[in-house]
Amino acid sequence: MSDPRLTPFSGRVAHVALQGRIAAAEFTSGTWMRLRAPLADLRRRPDGPRDRQILRGARLCVIDQQGPWAFVQAQMDGYCGWVAAEALGPDHPVTHRVSARMTHLYSAADLKSPEQARLSLNAQLRITGQEGRFLRCDDGFWVPRPHMARLDALQSDPVSVAESLLGTAYLWGGNSAAGVDCSGLVQLALHACGKACPGDSDLQEAALGPALPEGAEMQRGDLLFWRGHVAWVSAPGAILHANAHTMSVACEPRAEALARIAREGPLTAHIRPV
């Protein structure tokens, strides 16, 4: 059976790519839109629980709509779910991404002007102008130039990106600097480096590279997987992860953390992302 997280089928309408593979009342090629809200939950059903989150500028294929809810598939990782339709906007191309941990949208090109919204690392914007140290967004708001980078100006070390989020509050299904879970931290870090990455830890374990032999030496940048959890190796004796033990993104001594996590289940893979 297809994984519903990655299957563009709302239960009523399916993407045309699924014709001949599933029974659906209707098939569509979908409509491309972008998230205009700063951050939105991607839900498993209309007004249901959060599975993941998506950031401002995310490109989404709208498959179906039920009242105020739209069923979408995210271009960046193929994840499907329901999002508030009012959070969507036209599919205008984006030019820049937030390179800081977090930034603000301002009402004017003035640091004393009222802030309008907070944007997380990796949110994407269409920049249309500049005034001093501020860049103008296509919605008329302004963002500090030092907090932005062109889309092709990528980070080189995903662990450094993850370290910039130390202390961020743990949030199940979170994908932003306002709150993040273990797989969200991995995805944020890899996307900042221009690397493809699925949304959930089991998908990441299957996609990010072959498992290393048991007992292989651990080095910075490796990923450790358990059932339902993932952590970066940040140094030979330390791991970095968003975790429910500290309820934050934290760096811990490796032996101590591995012993604690092992009580919940065994290590399932040690991967060096390719």
Burial class from Cβ neighbours inside 10 Å (0-12, 13-18, 19+) for residue 221 reads middle
For domain 96-150, give the fold: SH3 type barrels. (2.30.30)
pLDDT at residue 2, as a whole number: 85
pLDDT at residue 274, as a whole number: 80
Domain 4-89 CATH superfamily? SH3 Domains (2.30.30.40)
Burial class from Cβ neighbours inside 10 Å (0-12, 13-18, 19+) for residue 161 reads buried
pLDDT tens digits, one per residue of 233-264? 999 899 999 999 999 999 999 999 999 999 99
CATH 3.30.70.1560 fits 158-271, yes or no: no
Residue indicated by tokens 């059932």: 227
pLDDT at residue 157, as a whole number: 97
Residue 68's nearest CA partner among 40, 110, 95, 94 is: 40
pLDDT tens digits, one per residue of 110-123? 999 999 999 999 99
> Which residues of the chain fall below pLDDT 70?
1
How many angstroms separate the CA atoms of 24 and 22, rounded? 6
How many angstroms separate the CA atoms of 65 and 140, rounded? 28
- CATH 3.90.1720.10 in the chain is located at 158-271
- CATH 2.30.30.40 in the chain is located at 4-89, 96-150
